[in-house]
Amino acid sequence: MANSNAKGDRRERELVNELDAAGFAVMRAPASGSATERELPDVLAGDGTDFYAVEAKSSAGDPIYLDGEEIEALLFFSRNFGAKPRIGVRFDREDWYFFHPGDEAVHVTDGGNYRVKKETALAHGVDFDELVGHSEKVTLAEVADDGPDQGTLDVLSAFERGDLSKEEAAEML
């Protein structure tokens, strides 16, 4: 019989490799939660500026549940270690998404456990590139509210007047 934790272990190693490739010093706490009496996060990562303690969960189904005691231990460890606590979730055929345990998108059940739905992860989670500082999430509402900047409007106006060719305008944009 195959190890029931094999897929989760593989996903944690995948996360460790991605963080390493992004320039983080990273380690996976092997058998976190069962190898020691102290509750440890699944992954510790730091790049000299940002330090994360991550409780990582993956699932083929929806939603992902986390035990309330795991999250309490994550918060305790993070506070004492000086790391930012993060819940990392990965659904099959999706990327990693990250949340602070206190985010509104993370639902706390009546029993004190935590739940992240796939649709919530995709809509509100921090993706890997944003976590490691390679991008910043911009919502459609933010783009729609701001509209184009004055430089873009000036180039489009010049094109409409015939002052610029389509190629010149495209190059300037």
- Start-to-end CA distance of the chain, whole Å, equals 58
Looking at residue 114, what is its pLDDT? 95
Please identify every residue annotated as catalytic: 32
DSSP per-residue letters across 66-81: E-HHHHHHHHHHHHHH
Domain check: are 60 and 125 in the same one?
yes
Looking at residue 62, what is its pLDDT? 84
CB atoms within 10 A of CB 34: 9
List the domain range (segments joined by +) for residue 142.
Answer: 138-172
Domain check: are 142 and 128 in the same one?
no
Domain check: are 112 and 30 in the same one?
yes
Domain check: are 101 and 33 in the same one?
yes
Q: What is the mean pLDDT of each run of 10 residues along the chain (173 residues)?
A: 66 94 91 61 94 93 90 94 96 93 92 93 91 74 65 81 83 82
Looking at residue 21, what is its pLDDT? 95
Q: Where are the alpha helices (DSSP H) in the chain?
A: 6-21, 68-81, 118-124, 128-131, 140-146, 150-161, 166-172
pTM over 0.85: no
CATH of the domain at 11: 3.40.1350.10
Domain check: are 145 and 125 in the same one?
no
Confirm whether residue 55 is marked as ligand binding: yes
